[in-house]
Amino acid sequence: MAIALISVVAVFFLGMGLYALAAPAALIRPFGISLSRPESRAEVRAVYGGFGLAIAGVLGYAALHPSASDAILITVAVALAGMAVGRLISAIVDERTAFYPNWFYFLVEVVLAAALVFAAVL
């Protein structure tokens, strides 16, 4: 069960990373951000693309090496929870937003973080 949970989260990050590398403007468009400069596209490719692939890689490693998995799973879970907290703070200090994309991704981040914590304690 733990390997299945880890794999689902890894595939999510792999997909996000590949999509960001291939089409950074399309990935970020739902947030109302335009990427008109090469520097802005590079930033999205780095943060969403490179980071996504790196996280997918370490989660793949965790799935194959149980002795190292707990620390990796908790680290990635905390990173996801931090992203969700950032969205929550934005909801408090900024204007209200529609469910998609902010609240949708808030829920994705919370669910994936919880799945990784659950996988770590199995």
Query: What is d(CA 10, CA 14) in angstroms, rounded to the nearest whole number?
Result: 6
List the chain pLDDT tens, one digit each, 122 residues: 799 999 999 999 999 999 999 999 999 999 999 999 999 999 999 999 999 999 999 999 999 998 889 999 999 999 999 999 999 999 999 999 999 999 999 999 999 999 999 999 98
Query: What is d(CA 109, CA 112) in angstroms, rounded to the nearest whole number?
Result: 5
Domain span at 27:
2-121
pLDDT of 122:
85
**pTM, 2 dp:** 0.91
What secondary structure does DSSP assign to 76-107, as a single string?
HHHHHHHHHHHHHHHHHHS----IIIIIHHHH
Q: Could you tell me which residues come within 8 angstroms of residue 91 by beta carbon, excluding any fewer than 6 positions away?
A: 97, 102, 103
Structure tokens at 34: 């335009």
Q: How many domains does the chain have?
A: 1
